[in-house]
Chain A
Amino acid sequence: MASRKVHITFPEDRIKDPVIYQIGHEYKVVTNIRRADVTEKTGWMDVELVGEAGEIERAIAGLKYKGVMVDPIERNIIE
């Protein structure tokens, strides 16, 4: 099993969508929220995704398709 730590940012028009729940159902990954701040306007979550490496990749692509931003936990590391 692999795991990936990601930082997810929700734009305002996706705040009401239960994307973490959906991803857990649509892909064989376990989602584990470690820290989050979500308001009616926007929000972010630091989440661990656990599963087979390929399935994590697909889950991340699925998250992006749903309109949320997904970055590594380190955010942007290209300096």
Chain B
Amino acid sequence: MGKILGLKCRECGKAYPAEPLHVCEFCFGPLEVDYDYEAIASRVSRETISQGPKSLWRYIDFLPVEKEATVGIHGGFTPMIRAHRLGQVLGLDNLYLKNDTVNHPTLSFKDRVVAVALTRAKEFGFDTVACASTGNLANSVSAHAAQAGLKCFVFIPSDLESAKVLGNLIYHPTVVAVEGTYDDVNRLCSEIAGEYRWAFVNINIRPYYAEGSKTLAYETAEQLGWRAPDQVVVPIASGSLLTKIWKGLKEFERVGLIHGVRTKVNGAQAAGCSPVATAFAEGRDFIKPVKPKTLAKSLAIGNPADGVYALQTARETQGLIEMVTDDEIVAGIHLLAQTEGVFAETAGGVTIAVLKKLVARGAIPREDVTVAYITGNGLKTQEAVAGSLGEAVYIEPSLEKFQRRFKLK
């Protein structure tokens, strides 16, 4: 028996075979991969992991693939930065940044989930992969499909900015610009996924795809010296990333790789799209869908699939979920770049701004080992900060003018 027992409904617990399925036929709840943790525990140790590849695949024993990695073999194992200067500004002595702005190959954490999804899709024998995306996911699926030699369909709303379309076209997928509202694109993709035998990464492959996010937790624990942090701050879009980071820490504890996990899992949303943060603030256990209006486009999911589970995770771990305005997001991007030399996309600005807020209100004590997840590269969303930057200092090509301009003489 391998490490994968099958799929299991998160709501009613009904078991399914490990196939390209994602919804429980009985209660319509989402399916999740069910593992044989005894089998995993019997073959992993800190030593075996340390000797593995310097990529997310060093944790292959915890990932839902049957054979070796075939797609995205260089993804993950991104730097864990000890953020002294940012910590000093915020009032934290043990702040770390998990820096997925340099993830391979498309500079966002999506390279983790897509590597796992496409490796699994190849195991299933799919020759075509697809996704619906306005940014990072499309980039990652397109790039990985190119590397894997898979046919690729990317669905986007027809009014998407041309720069974002270009970022996909370079990998030569078929980009389908759907004329209609965001909801129309969403509905069409759900229908297409049910119609064709394609690996739609965030629909019928979602149970496998989502598991790739756990590698952020594994790397966090290993890079901190085999321990769980006291606090994490995670951006929330679908809510999957936050729940999987918690799942990853608990799995490491379950198989004995780390001990005493008491991490508070905090979530971060933009005020312009905050269905989960609002539900948290109002004490609700369900999500009221919203129409997104924020510059943090990569987090703009108005009816998040895993929003309820993100809520549950934050409450279970005594974490908090906060929201920040667009101005605070831009300030967060600036602060991170100025103090740590990391240029994050808007989601990173959300994370840093919420981190700042949580520290200011006393929710994260100075001494807590805290990890903030920076999930995408700022070069992808330069427009977000374009209006808030200083200008270059123009001088004539003369040493004297230079010295006079900067009062160096």
Query: With A35-B11, A77-B189 as given contacts, are A69 and B301 in contact (CB-CB < 8 Å)?
Result: no
Question: For residues 175 through 205 of chain B, which have their beta carbon under 8 Å from a beta carbon of chain A?
Answer: 182-183, 185-187, 189-190, 202-203
> Which one of A37, A46, A71 lies within 8 Å of B303 (CB-CB)?
A71
Query: Which stretch (B19-27, B76-84, B335-343, B353-361) binds chain A?
Result: B19-27
Q: In angstroms, how far is the closest chain B Cβ from the Cβ of A9? A: 6
Please, how many angstroms separate the alpha-carbon atoms of A5 and B286 in the complex?
Answer: 19
B137 adjacent to A79 (CB under 8 Å):
yes
The 8 tightest CB contacts between A and B, nearest first, are A72-B190, A46-B28, A75-B305, A79-B137, A78-B132, A75-B303, A34-B28, A76-B301
Question: For residues 23 through 78 of chain A, which have their beta carbon under 8 Å from a beta carbon of chain B?
Answer: 34-35, 37, 42, 44, 46, 48, 69, 71-78
> Which one of B134, B185, B203, B288 lies within 8 Å of A9 (CB-CB)?
B288
Please, how many angstroms separate the alpha-carbon atoms of A77 and B154 in the complex?
Answer: 12
| B131 at the binding interface (Cβ < 8 Å) | yes
Tell me which residues across on chain B come within 8 A of A11, comparing CB atoms. Answer: 288
| B256 at the binding interface (Cβ < 8 Å) | no
Tell me which residues across on chain A come within 8 A of B167, comparing CB atoms. Answer: none
| B206 at the binding interface (Cβ < 8 Å) | yes
Please, how many angstroms separate the alpha-carbon atoms of A23 and B302 in the complex?
Answer: 25
Tell me which residues across on chain B come within 8 A of A79, comparing CB atoms. Answer: 110, 131-134, 136-137, 202, 237-238, 301
Q: In angstroms, how far is the closest chain B Cβ from the Cβ of A69? A: 5
- Tell me the nearest residue of chain A to B188, going by C-beta: A72
B23 adjacent to A76 (CB under 8 Å):
no
> Which one of B27, B134, B189 lies within 8 Å of A34 (CB-CB)?
B27
B27 adjacent to A77 (CB under 8 Å):
no
Please, how many angstroms separate the alpha-carbon atoms of A42 and B134 in the complex?
Answer: 30
Please, how many angstroms separate the alpha-carbon atoms of A76 and B289 in the complex?
Answer: 10
> Which one of A35, A42, A77 lies within 8 Å of B203 (CB-CB)?
A77
Please, how many angstroms separate the alpha-carbon atoms of A65 and B13 in the complex?
Answer: 35
Tell me which residues across on chain B come within 8 A of A7, comparing CB atoms. Answer: 303
A71 adjacent to B186 (CB under 8 Å):
yes
Tell me which residues across on chain B come within 8 A of A76, comparing CB atoms. Answer: 186, 238, 301-305
Query: With A5-B28, A78-B134 as given contacts, are A44 and B286 in contact (CB-CB < 8 Å)?
Result: yes
B189 adjacent to A78 (CB under 8 Å):
yes
Tell me which residues across on chain B come within 8 A of A75, comparing CB atoms. Answer: 238, 289, 301, 303-305, 307
| B91 at the binding interface (Cβ < 8 Å) | no
Tell me which residues across on chain B come within 8 A of A77, comparing CB atoms. Answer: 132, 186, 189-190, 202-203, 305
Tell me which residues across on chain A come within 8 A of B22, comparing CB atoms. Answer: 74
| B29 at the binding interface (Cβ < 8 Å) | yes
Q: List 19 interface pairs A-B (beta carbons < 8 Å), by A numbering.
A: A34-B26, A42-B288, A46-B28, A72-B190, A74-B22, A74-B190, A74-B202, A74-B203, A74-B206, A75-B303, A77-B190, A77-B203, A77-B305, A78-B132, A78-B133, A78-B157, A78-B186, A79-B132, A79-B237
Q: Mark B122-161, 1 if CB is under 8 A from A, else 0.
A: 0000000001111011000000000000000001010000
Q: In angstroms, how far is the closest chain A Cβ from the Cβ of B384? A: 18
- Tell me the nearest residue of chain B to A43, going by C-beta: B286
Tell me which residues across on chain B come within 8 A of A44, comparing CB atoms. Answer: 286
B185 adjacent to A78 (CB under 8 Å):
yes
Tell me which residues across on chain B come within 8 A of A74, comparing CB atoms. Answer: 22-23, 190, 202-203, 206, 305
> Which one of A5, A69, A71, A78 lies within 8 Å of B23 (CB-CB)?
A5
- Tell me the nearest residue of chain A to B187, going by C-beta: A72
Please, how many angstroms separate the alpha-carbon atoms of A72 and B195 in the complex?
Answer: 14
Please, how many angstroms separate the alpha-carbon atoms of A66 and B157 in the complex?
Answer: 26
Please, how many angstroms separate the alpha-carbon atoms of A74 and B210 in the complex?
Answer: 13
Query: With A71-B303, A77-B305, A79-B136 as given contacts, are A9 and B11 in contact (CB-CB < 8 Å)?
Result: no
Query: By CB atoms of chain B within 10 A, which of A42, A71, A77 has the most?
Result: A77
